Chain A
C-alpha cells in the first residue's frame, strides 16, 4: 500500500482524489457561504505549503509571511478598487480616498489599473521583497534566530505602515467593498464558485510544485542546508542561494494566496498581515507536520475550521486553545501529527523492551530506524538550524 502511494501512479491518484474532493465534492456538498469560507481556508493552506518548504524543509523560521500575503492582497485590492471606481463610479477614484484623502489617486496606485500589471505584481513584488531580504540576510550569514526576528519586525513595520497611510491604504479599516473581479460580478454565486475553484486549483498546483521541489536534488540539498549549513559550503555550494530561492518561492505562494483572499473574502486589513497573523500561519503547519508535503495543508485547514467554529462562540477559550496548541505541539511534538506513528511505534518498542527482560547488551535499535525511505527526509532535525 505504502509503496503504491509513493509510486508515480500513487501520487497521481492522490492528486486526482484531492482534485475530486476539492473541485467536485465540496461545491456539491457546501452552501455558497460555506464554500467561500472553504475558499478562504484554502488561501491559508497555500501560504502553509510555502511555509512547509521554507521552515520544515529549509529550517528558516519565516515569521513574516503575512507581509507577502499582504502585498499580494493589497495589490489585488488596489486593482479591484480602481476597476470598481471606473466601472461604477465613473470618476476612477476609489470611494475611501475622497473620504479620507485629497480625492486624488496617488501615483503609485496608477500602475495597478492594468490587470496585467496587477497579475504580474502579485507574483513579482512579494518575490522581489523576499529576494532582497533573503540575500541581505543569508549572504551575510546572519544567524537563523536573527532572520526570524527580522522577518517578524518586517511584519510589524508593514502593519504599522499600512495603518499610518489612512488616505492611500485605508488605514486600519483596510480595503473592502469590492464589487467586481476582472469584470465578473462578485455577488453572482456562479462567480463565487469560479473564485473558489481557482483557489482550489492554485492549491493543487502549489502542492505539485512543492512535491517536485522536495523530491528533486534541490530538495535533498535544502535538507542538507537545514541540518548542516557549514558543511554544504565546504562542498562548494552557496547555502545563501539555496535558502533565498526557497524563501522567494514561499513568498510568492503567500502573495498569490493573498491575491485570491481579497475577492473571496472581500476585505484585507492590517489585522490580516501583522505579527500575530504571521505567526498564526505557522501553527497549522506545525500541527500537520512541518517537514511533510500534506501536513501543512491539512493542519492549516483544520486550524482555520476550528477557529471559525470556536472563535466567535468562545473567543476567550479559543485564544487559550491556540496558545496551548503552540506550547504542546512545538514543545512536545515538533514533528506534528505526521510524527505520531513514529512516536507510537517508539513507545511500543520501549514497552516491549521493558517487558522482555533482555540483557543489557540486547541490540539497540536506533531511534531513527523506524521505516523511512531514501527519498523522504521527513524527520524534523533535533538541532533545528541555529
Chain B
C-alpha cells in the first residue's frame, strides 16, 4: 500500500498542466432560470487541471448559482463536461462521485460529529456495506494526512461544532481533499478569516491546486491578486472577461461594471 499523497509537488499555473493529458472542466451554454429570471446566462467556462481559477463578479452575478448548477443543486440547461463525462442532469450524489466536490459560503460541517468523523465520512462514499456496518478502527492514511494538512491533528476528537470559524472552513477543505475530488469548487473559502488565516488558506489552495481543477469564488481582490493563476469575471449572469489578473483588471468592460462598486480595488 502506498501512502496517499493529497498534496502534489509543484505550483498551479495559468492554463494548467503542460504535460500529459490534463483533466478539464468544460462548461458550455450553461443557463439557469428561476421563474423567468435568468440568473446564469449562456456561460462558457474552461478550467484545466493545474490551473487555480478564481471566479469574481459583483453580488448577484450568478457565481454561486454556477457552482450550484455544476453540482446538480439547481436545474440548468447547457452542458458541463468533466474530462469526457457529461455531468449536467445527474443527481447531486452521482456528480459528487464523479469527482466534483464543493464547499459552501457558510461552512457546513457536521457539528455533532468529531473532526475525525467528519473527515472519515467524506473519505467513505466508496465503502462497501460491510465496512459501513463495522466500527471505525484506526484512522485512514488519507484522513491522517488531511488532518495534518489542515492543521487540525490535535483537534481530531473535538466536536466540529466547537471549532473556530476559520477551522471549520479548513475542515471543509480537508473533507474535499479526502473525498478525492478532481474538481474543487470553493465558495468564498476565506470569508470571515483573519489576515493570517487568509494567507495560510491561500498557500493551501496553491498547494492543492497544482494537480486539480480548481474554481474559487472570491470577493477579496487582494487575495485574488496574490493567489489566482487565472480569473473569470462574471456580471449579470454572463462572462464578462477572462484571463490573468492583470488582463482582466485592464479590461474596460470590467472597469465599467465595477465602477462605483469599489470592488476591484480594496474590498
Contact = CB atoms under 8 A, between A and B. Distances in A.
Q: Do chains A and B touch in the complex (CB under 8 A)?
A: yes
A218 B136 contact: no
B231 to A, nearest CB: 25
A236 B134 contact: no
B108 A231 contact: yes
Interface stretch (A99-107, A209-217, A278-286): A209-217
B259 interface: no
A241 B157 CA distance: 28
Nearest to B122: A235
Given A217-B120, A218-B132, A233-B92, A368 B108 contact: no
Interface stretch (B49-57, B123-131, B146-154): B123-131
A368 B132 contact: no
B69 interface: no
A16 to B, nearest CB: 20
Contact of B132 (A217, A230, A373, A379): A217
Nearest to B161: A368
A142 to B, nearest CB: 16
Interface stretch (B17-25, B94-102, B246-254): B94-102
A282 to B, nearest CB: 21
B219 to A, nearest CB: 22
A28 to B, nearest CB: 36
Contacts of B232: none
Contacts of A366: 161-162
A381 interface: yes
Interface residues of B, number: 40
Interface string B79-114: 000000000000111001100011010001111111
Given A374-B114, A377-B113, A224 B121 contact: yes
Nearest to B97: A236
B224 interface: no
B218 to A, nearest CB: 20
Contact of A224 (B92, B96, B113, B132): B113
Contacts of A212: 133, 135
A239 to B, nearest CB: 8
B116 interface: yes
A307 interface: no
A95 interface: no
A213 B112 contact: no
A221 B118 CA distance: 9
A223 B97 contact: no
B101 to A, nearest CB: 7
Contact of B113 (A215, A223, A233, A239): A223
A220 B162 CA distance: 18
A135 B35 CA distance: 29
Contacts of A372: 159
Given A233-B96, A234-B101, A368-B161, A228 B110 contact: yes
Contact of B136 (A217, A238, A373, A377): A217
Contacts, number: 95
B131 to A, nearest CB: 7
B136 A220 contact: yes
Contacts of A213: 133
A22 B120 CA distance: 38
Contact of B179 (A236, A368, A374, A377): A236
B117 A368 contact: no
B175 interface: yes
A372 B158 CA distance: 9
A231 B71 CA distance: 12
A227 interface: yes
A223 B110 CA distance: 8
A120 interface: no
Interface string A279-301: 00000000000000000000000
A236 B112 contact: no
B112 A237 contact: no
A29 interface: no
A231 B159 CA distance: 17
Contact of A235 (B121, B136, B162): B121
Interface string B164-179: 0000000000010001
Contacts of B156: 374
A344 interface: no
A228 B108 contact: yes
Nearest to B133: A216
A369 interface: yes
Nearest to B125: A236
Contact of B96 (A228, A234, A369, A379): A234
Interface string A358-386: 00000000101100111001010100000
Contacts of A235: 93, 96, 101, 121-122, 125, 175, 179
Contacts of B135: 212, 215-217
A223 B93 contact: no
Contacts of A223: 110, 112-113
Contacts of B96: 233-236
5 contacts: A220-B120, A220-B136, A223-B112, A233-B96, A235-B179
Given A220-B117, A235-B125, 17 more contacts: A216-B134, A217-B127, A217-B131, A217-B133, A220-B113, A223-B110, A227-B111, A228-B108, A230-B73, A230-B92, A234-B102, A235-B121, A237-B93, A238-B91, A239-B93, A368-B161, A377-B112
